[in-house]
Amino acid sequence: MSWGKSPGSPDVQEEIDWKRKQTPPGKRLDGQYALVTGASRGFGRTIALALAEEGAHVAVNYNRSKNDAEEVVKEIQSKGVKAIAVQADIRDRKQVIAMADKVWSEWGRLDILINNAGETAASMQSWRDMDDEIIDETLDLDVKGTLYCLHEFGMRMLDKQKEGTIVNVASNVIVTGSPRSPVYAAAKYGIIGLTKSYALAFAPYVRVNAMAPGYMDTPSLRSRKDWTDDRRQFMVSQTPLRSIGKPENIAYTAVFLASQDSFHMTGNTLLCDGGFGMVGA
């Protein structure tokens, strides 16, 4: 997709408005090419399907879950758009570069990058559980992995296309903190730093924003030892919208940030946690 003018042009908004009129109803991402990291399952899978619903062709990144990734590809293709599975351990910069090479070889461009892959350090039940391996795994995937993808894909969007949008998945722990796992909070706060830094570096051509969900009603959450009925009831009671978020609803925050509906936003972080972590202006 090309707007034909840089975002700094006086009439760029007119061109965006024109493009919207050419887009089929309900297809905000029609014809665009996207990549979602960690998309073979969980929230990444849900985001990938949401992008496809809006007309995007989607590259499904996975590390080890090849069969799951191929199933997601089939689901996406059933919606009438293109999809490919791309393997890479994003903690390894060389693999990230190879993945970018494959995407550009296959499609010749990338319009949307969703940095979803992350480690929640779910095995940590308390800040007292200091574990070097968990610390390294969390920081490597959340911070280094996001950094490598932001840098490599964003640089190509900037240099080759002069356009693109990037959405990083953080967490509402950037507001609430995490006494269970301080390293998880540190990692997600690191993503906010990366979001702001690359938003400035890539401006005005490539927009970079973040979304910050709270607890999501997923199998992984329900399987956690600390997710008891009492804990769930407490979280619901403290959440203004009185529910634990469903991935299929929260995924559309990523769609909004990836689309031209958020045209005048970059370096921003959107909380999407039912109001649990609402902050003052």
Inside any domain, residue 230: no
pLDDT of 92 strictly over 50? yes
% of the chain exceeding 70 in pLDDT: 90
Inside any domain, residue 207: yes
The predicted structure's pLDDT at residue 141: 95
Q: How many domains does the chain have?
A: 1
The predicted structure's pLDDT at residue 18: 55
Q: 272 phi and psi, to 5 degrees?
A: -140, 65
Confidence tier at 1 by pLDDT (50, 70, 90): very low
**Helix (H/G/I), strand (E/B), else coil: 85:** strand
Confidence tier at 239 by pLDDT (50, 70, 90): confident
The catalytically annotated residue of 184, 189, 198, 215 is 184
Return the CA Rg of the chain: 18
The reply to whether omega before 204 is within 30° of 0 (cis) is yes
How many CB atoms neighbour CB 277 within 10 A? 18
pLDDT of 8 strictly over 80? no
Confidence tier at 4 by pLDDT (50, 70, 90): very low
Q: Cβ contacts of residue 93 below 8 Å, gap of 6+?
A: 148, 152
pLDDT of 89 strictly over 50? yes
Inside any domain, residue 41: yes
The predicted structure's pLDDT at residue 3: 39
Q: Which range of residues forms the domain containing residue 121?
A: 28-217+247-271
Q: Half-sphere exposure of 250 toward its Cβ, with a 13 Å CA cutoff?
A: 29
Q: Average pLDDT for residues 197-217, to the nearest whole number?
A: 95
> What's the CATH number where 259 sits?
3.40.50.720
Global pTM value: 0.87
Q: Average pLDDT for residues 24-35, to the nearest whole number?
A: 86
Q: Average pLDDT for residues 12-27, to the nearest whole number?
A: 57
Active site residue 148: no
Inside any domain, residue 124: yes
